[in-house]
Amino acid sequence: MGADGRLDDVLDALARCTGSAMSAASDDEHERWPVYLAACGRSQCRDLLLSAVALEPDSSVASGIVLRMPAGLTQNLASVERGTS
């Protein structure tokens, strides 16, 4: 499974975690953005959000989400990107 498939799986789980409705068109950053925003304030979605940001193909979207994450959530982002979390 490629990175896109992994992102789809993470987004599905993230949408369930937040109770968000998300269309299957996860290739559109405008569809992904509200799911990411909903997850930003939910500690139970932390690991999924970090995984999604690491897989996010649009660096502007990934940066925007990182800037919105509460303090402490971004501490482990580097380890998630390295696959060592």
- Residue 59's contacts (CB-CB under 8 Å, 6 or more residues apart) are none
pLDDT at 25: 54
Token reading at 7 = 């992102």
Whether 71 shows a pLDDT value over 70: the answer reads no
Q: What is the tens place of the pLDDT at every residue in 16-66?
A: 999 987 765 578 888 899 999 999 889 899 899 999 999 999 999 999 998
Whole-number Å distance between alpha carbons of 77 and 46? 10
Answer positive or negative: Cα dihedral of 73, 75, 81, 85: negative
Q: Name the band, by pLDDT with cuts 50, 70 and 90, for residue 73.
A: low
Whole-number Å distance between alpha carbons of 5 and 68? 25
Token reading at 44 = 């139970």
